[in-house]
Amino acid sequence: MSVLVTGAGGFVGNNVVRRLVQQGRPVRAMVRGIDKAKMRLADVADKVEFVQGDVTDRASLPPLMNEVSAIVHTVAIAIERGGQTYEEVNFQGTINLVDAAEKAGVRRFINVSQNGARPDHFSRFLRSKGKAQEYVASSGLEWTAIRPSAIFGPQDEFFNAFARLVRLTPIVFPLVGGGTAEFQPVSIYDVVETITRSLDDNDTVGKEFELGGPEILTLGEIQKRILNAMNEKRVLINAPVGLLRPAVFVMEKALPGTPVSLTLLELLKEPNVVRDNALVTYFKMQPRPFSGDHIAYLRENSAGSAIKRFFTGAAVN
Ligand SMILES: NC(=O)c1ccc[n+]([C@@H]2O[C@H](COP(=O)([O-])OP(=O)(O)OC[C@H]3O[C@@H](n4cnc5c(N)ncnc54)[C@H](OP(=O)(O)O)[C@@H]3O)[C@@H](O)[C@H]2O)c1
């Protein structure tokens, strides 16, 4: 029996797949593009069964459920692109997957949700994720929800986007919204560990786990740490959200790989900080900090990869 990982070519998904393979578990990786996912998972590709599926296509899902013991659901979009909407992918896509799992008799379901997600959130993104989790919780599945703050690690989108911007801005660097928004960056390796442990721990069934790193950091502090990790110096200038809005609007329309959207910009209004860090209180782990060797990967961004990512939307790491 396999563990089915949805979004297996994505940042969280490919790290979950890799860890499950390391643990010697049979893995079925659900992706939209098999060739692209095989390249990303090249080091373990021969130990993974790749299958094609789209959560918005209900009919594509039931055939993927054969001989599956558990599902780790990571599919979601943070930015609406290419006609995909939060409602269709994050909410309806989760409904489609949950329904297919129930019908096929797959009982165990780990839902990778998001810190702050709730059905009545002011943000359409966090609302879609909140409604998705509400549907999962109302199902007959043995579910566990993982709710991380911003996740860092090689291939992350959020922190690497700042590093890419650093490569394109030689002198000054914008301190977004004055840099006061709060985050609790959590390592991808810690997040993945909680997911794989949950698969083996029946006490996690029916529970939601908020995950954060060891420190609450302002965006300004995060930007300074990114600059330090890259051995770069910039003059930080305050860029109020109101001033950034028109630029972000244009970027969203014009750049296939825009690092930011108006929806994500408005999320800065609410601290992305966890109340009860389950990494410590439940999983008894020592979270990796957003510093030192843990963020050395940010250095690998080049001006060329930044341009490729922003202007074509192609994955660059
Ligand atoms: N990254 C973070 O900081 C963070 C923090 C908290 C929670 N999370 C949660 O973690 C999960 C994974 O996020 P991530 O950062 O790994 O995102 P990601 O890298 O963008 O991965 C998402 C994956 O979903 C796939 N996908 C998109 N639309 C799909 C569809 N219609 N059908 C099937 N697959 C589809 C994408 O496939 P393609 O490659 O084909 O586009 C991609 O591989 C999400 O649920 C997110 O809410 C992330």
Which atom of ligand 1 is nearest to 53's Cα?
33
pLDDT at position 256 is 85
pLDDT (average), residues 275-289: 98
Question: Is residue 106 domain-shared with residue 29, that is, in the same domain?
Answer: yes
How many other C-beta atoms are found inside a 10 Å radius of the C-beta of residue 41? 24
Question: Is residue 25 domain-shared with residue 128, that is, in the same domain?
Answer: yes
pLDDT (average), residues 274-282: 97
How far is the C-alpha of 90 from the C-alpha of 132, rounded, in Å? 7
Q: How far is CA 264 from CA 91, 148, 184, 274, 300, in A?
A: 17, 16, 16, 18, 25
**pLDDT-based confidence at 259, cuts 50/70/90?**
confident
Question: Is residue 139 domain-shared with residue 169, that is, in the same domain?
Answer: no
pLDDT (average), residues 173-188: 95
What is the rounded average pLDDT for all residues in the chain? Answer: 95
> Which residue among 32, 110, 222 has the greatest number of ligand 1 atoms within 8 angstroms of its CB, and so is best to mutate?
32
pLDDT (average), residues 15-25: 98
CATH number reported for the structural domain that contains residue 39 in this entry:
3.40.50.720
What total number of domains does the chain contain?
2
Assess if residue 306 is contained within a domain. Answer: yes
Assess if residue 43 is contained within a domain. Answer: yes
Structural domain boundaries enclosing 64: 2-148
Assess if residue 82 is contained within a domain. Answer: yes
> Which residue among 5, 6, 12, 55 has the greatest number of ligand 1 atoms within 8 angstroms of its CB, and so is best to mutate?
12
Name the residue with the closest Cα to ligand 1, atom 20: 10
Question: Is residue 7 domain-shared with residue 126, that is, in the same domain?
Answer: yes
Assess if residue 200 is contained within a domain. Answer: no
Question: Is residue 169 domain-shared with residue 42, that is, in the same domain?
Answer: no
**pLDDT-based confidence at 122, cuts 50/70/90?**
very high
Strands 182-183 and 68-73: unpaired
Question: Is residue 302 domain-shared with residue 172, that is, in the same domain?
Answer: yes
pTM of the model: 0.96
pLDDT at position 254 is 86
DSSP string over 106-141:
--EEEEE--TT--TT-SSHHHHHHHHHHHHHHHSSS
**pLDDT-based confidence at 76, cuts 50/70/90?**
very high
> Which residue among 4, 5, 58, 75 has the greatest number of ligand 1 atoms within 8 angstroms of its CB, and so is best to mutate?
75
pLDDT at position 62 is 96
pLDDT at position 260 is 85
Question: Is residue 34 domain-shared with residue 143, that is, in the same domain?
Answer: yes
Assess if residue 296 is contained within a domain. Answer: yes
Residues framing ligand 1 (Cβ under 6 A): 7, 9-13, 32-33, 54-56, 74-77, 84, 89, 93, 112, 114, 129, 148, 150-151, 156-158
Calculate the CA dihedral of residues 290, 291, 294, 299 and round it to 10 degrees: 110
